[in-house]
């Protein structure tokens, strides 16, 4: 996740993640003592970072945060997307998708509705071209 998402989650009453969290940031050097075994600060080239995490045994990475998602998309490092929509218009914030050099095609795998409110759609990256 990116720094902005990380800082937002820090405001929760308790840390919600059970799996390790890697925070992409150039401005934070350390995490609170209570999170040292749960959060790691990472920096650098995304392709190198993904390779390093795979060598550590992390095969499926969950990418969170508007700027971070845009960066991973620009490097063509997203194989699947699960987009969950909540029917609330915020009117501000970081856009999920930014400008890309070329089209990226995804195929809808499935869509699920939760509590008659949340709509979650799962997409798989397709190498097909328009």
Q: pLDDT truncated to tens, each residue of the chain (130 aa)?
A: 999 999 999 999 999 999 999 999 999 999 999 999 999 999 999 999 999 999 999 989 999 888 899 999 999 999 999 999 888 888 887 777 888 888 899 999 999 999 999 999 999 999 766 6
The reported pLDDT for the residue numbered 110 is: 97
The first and second tokens of residue 124, run together, are 């798989």
Domain 3-126: CATH class, spelled out:
alpha beta
The reported pLDDT for the residue numbered 130 is: 60
Q: Using alpha carbons, select from 5, 25, 21 the residue that is nearest to residue 96.
A: 5
Give the integer Cα–Cα distance in Å for 11 and 59: 29
| Residue 15 contacts residue 38 (beta carbons within 8 Å) | yes
**Residue spans per domain, the chain:** 3-126
Q: What is the 3-state secondary structure (H, E, C) of 16-54?
A: CCCCCEEEECCCCCCCCHHHCCCEEEECCCHHHHHHHHH
């Amino acid at each position: 996740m990116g720094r902005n998402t990380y800082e937002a989650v820090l405001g929760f009453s308790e840390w919600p993640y059970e799996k390790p969290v890697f925070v992409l940031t150039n401005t934070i050097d350390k995490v609170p003592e209570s999170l040292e075994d749960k959060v790691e600060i990472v920096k650098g080239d995304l392709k190198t970072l993904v390779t390093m995490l795979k060598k550590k045994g992390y095969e499926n990475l969950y990418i969170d945060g508007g700027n971070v998602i845009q960066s991973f998309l620009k490097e063509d490092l997203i194989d699947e997307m699960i987009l969950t929509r909540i029917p609330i218009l915020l009117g501000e914030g970081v856009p999920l998708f930014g400008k890309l050099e070329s089209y990226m095609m995804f195929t809808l795998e499935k869509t699920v509705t939760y509590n008659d409110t949340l709509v979650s759609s799962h997409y798989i990256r397709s190498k097909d071209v328009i």
